[in-house]
């Protein structure tokens, strides 16, 4: 009779410390001590401790982390702020952060800024409001002032993927300069003479470093042309509308090779080249920073640099947890980890 209404069965009240205290006729404090694993140092008798633990399990007790957090001042949550969680690069980052955080018993909350400083600020404020113990932040253009003010507050954070000019805070990034230098040099070695560079936002530290690697490789090879004419900037939100036009222009400028500063640009351009019937690597050479799955499947495979995401995340969490525990006597540092050059057939 009742079973057909099972789906509207009443919520069960959460069991709390006092419930198990009552059941055992002991004080609530005692239960708290035992369940937070301090039986030994408080010298609670083994049998009592065992009984407490047992009935806690029997009753299905689950500590209320809100209450615990309020009392202890630690939420056990880490905030991850990326540009866009649906970008596979950040997706992988989220996964590794999750893994590393779990080892330290942290849960992770995430947010996507869409490279928008207001969104980032909002998210950071929300996270702070939720008392996250720390944050891992991918800073965006024009967020300096806000991030500076964040430093004044008590909540620790570390940058990842890019650092923020003017904000002296720990950061762990891949070696954008080196990777780009290698990629560009390879293009040159293969005989390409006019190499265009495409980037999304020339203000970002990682992109700057990539561009620096590109220009330096050109200079070192004695290649000499007005580099400004060969660097193209395309915002992600203009990708569909403007990318093709710029690609076309680069081609008209006589470019015979392309260095893409991130996976999205690379992938979108691939489609364009296919559409207009350019063959790679004969007509044009291609290299790209970052190694999405598409580059392995593409024909020819795309030569690229794979970022050491896992290592970056481990390092970031490591630094962050030390900061959270307050043992950070050292000055902030910028850690730059080398990626892996993956040579395929696109140049």
Footprint of its own copies on this chain (CB under 8 A)? 6-9, 11-14, 62-67, 69-70, 75-77, 84-88, 90-92, 94-95, 98, 107-112, 125-131, 151-154, 168, 267, 270-271, 274, 292-299, 329, 331-332
* Partners of 172 in the β-ladder: 160, 335
Taking the complex as a whole, how short is the minimal distance between the CB of residue 67 and DNA, in angstroms? Answer: 3
User: What residue 88 binds from its own copies, DNA, none (CB within 5 to 8 A, per partner kind)?
Assistant: its own copies
Return the sign of the alpha-carbon dihedral for residues 73, 76, 82, 85. negative
Q: What angle do CA 91, 307, 93 make, to 5 degrees?
A: 20
Taking the complex as a whole, how short is the minimal distance between the CB of residue 69 and its own copies, in angstroms? Answer: 5
Helix (H, G, I), strand (E, B) or coil at 93: helix
Residue 17 parent element (H or E): helix 17-24
The site for DNA (CB under 7 A) is made up of 14, 16-18, 25-30, 32-33, 35-36, 38, 42-45, 48, 61-64, 67-68, 70-72
> Closer CB to its own copies, residue 124 or residue 199?
124
Contact criterion met (CB below 8 Å) for 299 and 266: no
User: What residue 33 binds from its own copies, DNA, none (CB within 5 to 8 A, per partner kind)?
Assistant: DNA
> Closer CB to DNA, residue 68 or residue 242?
68
Taking the complex as a whole, how short is the minimal distance between the CB of residue 326 and DNA, in angstroms? Answer: 15
> Closer CB to DNA, residue 73 or residue 193?
73
User: What residue 6 binds from DNA, its own copies, none (CB within 5 to 8 A, per partner kind)?
Assistant: its own copies
Ramachandran area for residue 76 (φ above 0: left; ψ -120 to 50: alpha; else beta): left
Q: What are phi and psi for residue 253, nearest 5 degrees?
A: -70, 0
Greatest distance between any 2 Cα atoms in the chain: 87
DSSP string, 137-154: E---TT-HHHHHHHHTSS
> Closer CB to DNA, residue 39 or residue 321?
39
Taking the complex as a whole, how short is the minimal distance between the CB of residue 144 and its own copies, in angstroms? Answer: 15
Reference 91, options 80, 101, 107; nearest CA is: 80
User: What residue 168 binds from DNA, its own copies, none (CB within 5 to 8 A, per partner kind)?
Assistant: its own copies
Taking the complex as a whole, how short is the minimal distance between the CB of residue 211 and DNA, in angstroms? Answer: 44
């Amino acid at each position: 009779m009742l079973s057909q209404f099972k789906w509207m069965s009443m919520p069960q009240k959460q069991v709390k410390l006092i419930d198990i205290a009552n059941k055992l006729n002991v004080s609530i404090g005692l239960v708290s001590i035992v369940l937070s694993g301090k039986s030994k140092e408080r010298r609670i008798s083994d049998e009592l401790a065992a009984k407490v633990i047992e009935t806690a399990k029997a009753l299905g007790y689950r500590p209320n982390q809100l209450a615990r957090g309020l009392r202890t001042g630690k939420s056990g949550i880490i905030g991850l702020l990326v540009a866009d969680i649906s970008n596979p690069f950040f997706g992988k980052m989220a996964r590794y952060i999750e893994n590393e955080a779990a080892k330290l018993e942290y849960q992770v909350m995430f947010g996507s800024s869409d490279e928008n400083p207001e969104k980032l600020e909002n998210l950071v404020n929300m996270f702070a409001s939720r008392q996250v113990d720390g944050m891992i932040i991918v800073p965006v253009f024009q967020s300096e002032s806000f991030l500076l003010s964040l430093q004044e507050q008590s909540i620790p954070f570390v940058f990842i993927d890019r650092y923020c000019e003017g904000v002296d805070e720990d950061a762990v990034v891949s070696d954008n300069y080196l990777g780009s230098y290698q990629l560009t040099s390879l293009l040159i070695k293969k005989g390409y003479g006019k190499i265009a560079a495409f980037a999304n936002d020339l203000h970002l530290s990682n992109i700057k470093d990539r561009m620096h690697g590109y220009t330096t490789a050109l200079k070192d090879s004695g290649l000499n042309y007005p580099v400004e004419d060969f660097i193209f900037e395309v915002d992600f939100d203009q990708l569909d509308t403007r990318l093709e036009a710029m690609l076309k222009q680069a081609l008209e400028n006589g470019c015979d090779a392309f260095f893409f500063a991130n996976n999205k640009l690379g992938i979108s351009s691939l489609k364009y080249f296919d559409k207009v019937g350019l063959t790679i690597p004969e007509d044009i050479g291609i290299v790209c920073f970052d190694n999405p799955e598409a580059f392995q499947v593409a024909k020819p495979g795309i030569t690229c640099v794979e970022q050491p995401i896992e290592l970056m995340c481990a390092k970031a969490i490591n630094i962050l947890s030390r900061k959270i525990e307050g043992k950070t006597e050292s000055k902030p540092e910028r850690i730059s980890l080398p990626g892996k050059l993956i040579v395929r057939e696109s140049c």
